[in-house]
Amino acid sequence: MTDYDQRHGGPYDRGEADSYYMRPFKPHYYAGGTGKSPPIFDLTPDELEAYEAGWIENETNGDRKNYL
């Protein structure tokens, strides 16, 4: 298993968060903290892998925001 950088706003974190909040799969990350800089959508292969890994991990765990 790869050890991805899980910093807030990073690709892994954004993938995990998008899945958690039931947002579409839209690879991106922030150079600074989430929302503290413009989103970056032009990911390197490694960044895309990290986003996808965060997404897949959360999908596998089935963790979802309860909006009720």
Q: Domain tally for the chain?
A: 1
* Residue numbers of the domain that contains 25: 11-61
The Cα–Cα gap between 34 and 22 comes to 17
The Cα–Cα gap between 42 and 29 comes to 9
- At 1 the pLDDT is 60
Does residue 66 lie within any of the structural domains? no
Does residue 26 lie within any of the structural domains? yes
Query: Which residue in the block uniquely carries the two structure tokens 């490694």?
Result: 46
Does residue 42 lie within any of the structural domains? yes
Question: pLDDT tens digits, residue range 18-50?
Answer: 999 999 999 999 998 888 899 999 999 999 999
Does residue 3 lie within any of the structural domains? no
Does residue 5 lie within any of the structural domains? no
- At 26 the pLDDT is 98
The Cα–Cα gap between 37 and 7 comes to 14
Is-above-0.95 flag for pTM?
no
Structure-token pair, residue 33: 């903290």
Does residue 2 lie within any of the structural domains? no
Question: pLDDT tens digits, residue range 54-64?
Answer: 999 999 999 99
